[in-house]
Every structure is written in structure tokens, then in C-alpha cells.
């Protein structure tokens, strides 16, 4: 949904929605939202410093 970085280019974030599916690709097992915070590390690599997922309650997952 969104990604942005600090003007200093050493910290950034992403957030969005997700869904997981079972062996039957048509069956959605879980839906929710996530946030990740990234930090620039040595050698211009980005590493995740915070990662959280918030699943929707089962009844809301099924209706969306």
C-alpha cells in the first residue's frame, strides 16, 4: 500500500495488506495488515528492525 524513507535515507517503512492461502489456492486462510520498519546497514544493505502483522478476525477475513 505504501512505502517511504527518511530524507536522510537511513530509515524507511512499508505497510500494506496480506492474505495467506491453503493448498487450495482459492481458499483464503487469513487476511490482515502488516508494517515493516527498515534501517540502512553497512554496505548499503537494508535490514528489517520491526515487523508486525495484524490478522483480521476470522469472520472479517471471510467477508472481504
pLDDT tens digits for 2-54? Answer: 999 999 999 999 999 999 998 887 888 899 999 999 999 988 899 999 999 99
Residue 43 forms part of a structural domain: yes
**Which residue, 35, 13, 50, 16, is CA-closest to 4?**
13
Range of the domain at 54: 2-59
* CB-CB contact of 33 with 55 (8 Å): no
Residue 60 has which C-alpha cell?
Answer: 472479517
Count the domains in the chain. 1
Within a domain: 64? no
Average pLDDT for residues 54-60, to the nearest whole number?
85
Predicted TM-score (pTM) of this structure: 0.74
> Does some domain include residue 19?
yes
Amino acid at each position: 500500500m505504501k512505502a517511504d524513507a527518511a530524507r536522510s535515507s537511513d530509515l524507511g517503512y512499508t505497510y500494506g495488506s496480506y492474505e495467506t492461502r491453503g493448498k487450495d489456492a482459492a481458499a483464503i486462510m487469513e487476511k490482515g495488515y502488516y508494517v515493516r520498519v527498515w534501517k540502512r546497514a553497512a554496505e548499503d544493505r537494508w535490514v528489517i528492525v520491526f515487523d508486525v502483522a495484524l490478522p483480521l478476525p476470522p469472520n472479517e477475513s471471510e467477508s472481504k
